[in-house]
Amino acid sequence: MLHNRIVQFFVLYLCGLVFIFLIKFSFGLSDYVIPGIADIALTAKRIGPVYARAVIESIFIAIIGHILSIILACTIGILGRMHSFMGSFIKTSAYQIQAYPVVAIAPIIFILMGDGFLPRLIITSMICYFPLLLTFVGVFTEPVSDIEHFYSVTNSLSWNLEIRIRAYEHQKKILTVIEGSATLAMVGTIVAEFLSAESGIGYQISIALSQSDMSKVLIALFLIGLSISFYLTILSWGLWGKNARKTKKRLSML
């Protein structure tokens, strides 16, 4: 699985480089606009270790933010499933907050909390939690009539049993959106660092853009893609691998 993801990433990245160089040679752009391969290699040798440390810091924040967003979305989904004023209010509030662009809310967060670890973590969670929220709300508000009817008739259907039943019946949806939102966590981290931070790969990209240095941007994109590929591989193995092992165990018991 790791081998496949890494190969796919390299193929996509090389296709992107080929496209950029096609533009360079088609329009006769100078090395100042789009650097040559030799310039990219020299820049990678010079700033590679610095960017690698920055990516490690960013992916660390992205992972924690992803975990927090899963917890937040699951909690709101559980509370929002209630057919009451409180449940409706929680869902409406969660949707309304997401209606504001993060780039508009981020300055307020940075003004109040500075540009350290916590503001980046909050913005990361805000960006990647919404698809999780939609899935959890949809899953927890959709009854599994065939199973829940039995427990309702026997008066043994509690709220936590109802949640477990619905989560189990829709586990593929939940696992898919958890895996897909991992990339949004990295995007959120980069956005936060780009807006206001003094470290991280997003901060390094903002410096490279201010210097109009395409080589640094390409190297940063390479390291970001590589780190995301590793994280998605580990996440996929943990989610789908565990699910496959449970399924295999059940089949062996039949």
Number of structural domains (the chain) is 1
CA distances to 108, 118, 129, 224, 234 from 64, rounded to whole Å, are 22, 11, 12, 16, 14
CB-hemisphere CA count at 13 Å for 5?
Answer: 15
In a domain, 57, yes or no: yes
In a domain, 24, yes or no: no
Range of the domain at 88: 34-247
Q: Give the pLDDT score at 250.
A: 45
In a domain, 196, yes or no: yes
Question: Could you read off the pLDDT tens digit of each residue along the chain, which spans 254 residues?
Answer: 556 788 889 999 999 999 999 998 998 888 888 898 899 999 999 999 999 999 999 999 999 999 999 998 888 888 877 777 777 777 777 777 777 777 778 788 888 887 788 888 888 888 888 888 888 888 888 878 778 777 777 777 777 888 888 888 888 888 888 888 889 999 989 988 888 778 899 999 999 988 888 999 999 999 999 999 889 888 888 765 655 455 444 434 43
pTM: 0.83
In a domain, 221, yes or no: yes
Which CATH number covers residue 88? Answer: 1.10.3720.10
In a domain, 1, yes or no: no
In a domain, 5, yes or no: no
Closest to 137 in 3D by CA, of 102, 101, 173: 173
Q: Give the pLDDT score at 242.
A: 56
In a domain, 126, yes or no: yes
